[in-house]
Amino acid sequence: MQCSKCGTEASDFESFCTNCGEFVEHNPVATRSNIGTEVATGDDRQWSMGAHLSPLVGFIIPLGHIIAPLIIWQMKKNSSEFIADQAKEALNFQISLTIYSAVAGLLCFVFIGYLILPFLGIGGFLLMIMAAMKANGGEPYRYPFILRLIK
């Protein structure tokens, strides 16, 4: 970044010029996503983070953990490749987690499911937080062990 007033170089972490004290305008995140050639803007990063955190709505609305990322994907799929990719990833993760939880629920009849369900819940929550933080940093996140049903 360059200061518009005096031309001094400023790092990406500085908000003010070290030479003249002028506010330094920062462009969108300088990291490029692996998805395409577009730069993830601040708005893209916020929507992507929201897509990963939106399944928390499922605590209030039944099936909200699947509906919320689906709505974000449908709203933003034509405006940003980064948002579309991350919303699909969040949606695939929630669908996979639902399937895994249903199988674990059936396994409760043989008592193995009682051991698996807590790991799915805690692991799913932690992975969701990690994905939101990566997306907010402009990096695409890939959940491990999921079925990519929506392409």
Q: Environment class of residue 94 by beta-carbon count within 10 Å: exposed (0-12), middle (13-18) or buried (19+)?
A: buried
pTM: 0.73
Residue pair 151/139 in contact by the 8 Å Cβ criterion: no
Identify how many contiguous H helices and E strands the chain contains and give both numbers: 4, 0
Residue partners of 27: CB distance under 8 A and separation at least 6: 1, 39
What's the CA gap between 15 and 26, in Å, rounded? 8
Q: Please provide the DSSP assignment of 37-95 as one string.
A: S-B--HHHHHHHHHHHHGGGGGGTSTTHHHHHHHHHHHHHTTT-HHHHHHHHHHHHHHH
CA angle 105/125/123 to nearest 5° reads 65
Residue 102 has a pLDDT of 96
Residue 28 has a pLDDT of 45
Residue 5 has a pLDDT of 72
At 104-150, the pLDDT tens digits run 999 999 999 999 999 999 999 999 999 999 999 999 999 999 999 98
At 67-101, the pLDDT tens digits run 999 999 999 999 999 999 999 999 999 999 999 99
At 25-67, the pLDDT tens digits run 654 443 434 455 566 888 899 999 999 999 999 989 999 999 9
Residue 29 has a pLDDT of 45
Residue 11 has a pLDDT of 64
What's the CA gap between 95 and 75, in Å, rounded? 19
